[in-house]
Amino acid sequence: MKHIAESTVRRLSLYLRFLEDYRRQGLETISSGDLASLGGTTSAQVRKDLSFFGSFGTRGLGYSVSALSKRIREILGLEREWRVIIVGAGKIGAALAQYEGFGYRGFKIVGVYDVDQARIGQSLDGVIVKDQQELDGDLKSLKADIVLIAVPPEAAQPLVDRVTKAGIRGVLNFAPAPLHAPAGVTLRSVDMALELEILSYALAAKA
């Protein structure tokens, strides 16, 4: 398969949301134009995105909501369950652990870890916070696929090294630190302060 741009994958994920809204409304077909106006893009963009993976539509009609949902789910790897571990049960880690938006798409929180004795033992939405010393063993025994990093920035790189050594191939980081992972590991970062700075740039540029 040819390399697919991240922007395309991001949009596919959005299209899936819109498809689910349509399904909830009982609609059976959707056109590239509909998907485009919901997603703030163009119909040509939608069709091009889908065309990388095949042709799923019916000319004159559009796309079957259920068939396209299913296909996008397959493309994104969402037909399976992904087992997720959160490290750092502080403010953001706790919020993530209790976030319903993950479970809904097949991301299951199977463990939460911290160093702080005061936090260990706490229950976060059914998951008990465990001591980070148990992390290395649990990564394997719990068959974790993905680790979310919610520890202070200086603890983030050692943690990446640790979990990748244990075989983890997907990491989503929330600490504002420049991280590096070995080849074969996908590491993404969400940086909220950075998002605000981009907003700041846009606002400052206007004035």
Ligand X SMILES: NC(=O)c1ccc[n+]([C@@H]2O[C@H](COP(=O)([O-])OP(=O)(O)OC[C@H]3O[C@@H](n4cnc5c(N)ncnc54)[C@H](O)[C@@H]3O)[C@@H](O)[C@H]2O)c1
Query: Is position 155 an interface residue for ligand X (rule: CB under 6 A)?
Result: yes
- CA distance linking residue 124 with residue 160, whole number of Å: 23
Sign of the dihedral defined by the CA atoms of residues 48, 190, 150, 164, in that order: positive
**Interface positions, 23-52, toward DNA (CB under 7 A):** 31-33, 41-45, 47-48, 50-51
**Interface positions, 45-84, toward a second copy (CB under 8 A):** 75-78, 80, 82, 84
For residues 110 and 85, the answer to whether their CB atoms sit within 8 Å is: yes
Site string for ligand X, 40-79 (x = CB under 6 A): ----------------------------------------
Closest CA to 109 of 59, 138, 148: 148
By DSSP bridging, strand 29-30 and strand 62-64 are antiparallel
**Candidate residues 23, 38, 56, 155; the one interacting with a second copy per rule CB under 8 A:** 38
CB 175 to a second copy: min, Å:
9
Closest CA to 73 of 120, 122, 13, 132: 13
Query: Is position 126 an interface residue for ligand X (rule: CB under 6 A)?
Result: no
CA atoms within 13 A on the CB side of 35: 28
Contact residues for a second copy, defined by CB under 8 A: 1, 4, 6, 9-10, 12-14, 16-18, 38-40, 75-78, 80, 82, 84, 91-92, 94-96, 98-99, 101-102, 104-105, 107, 145-146, 169-170, 172, 176, 178, 180, 184, 186, 188, 190, 192-206
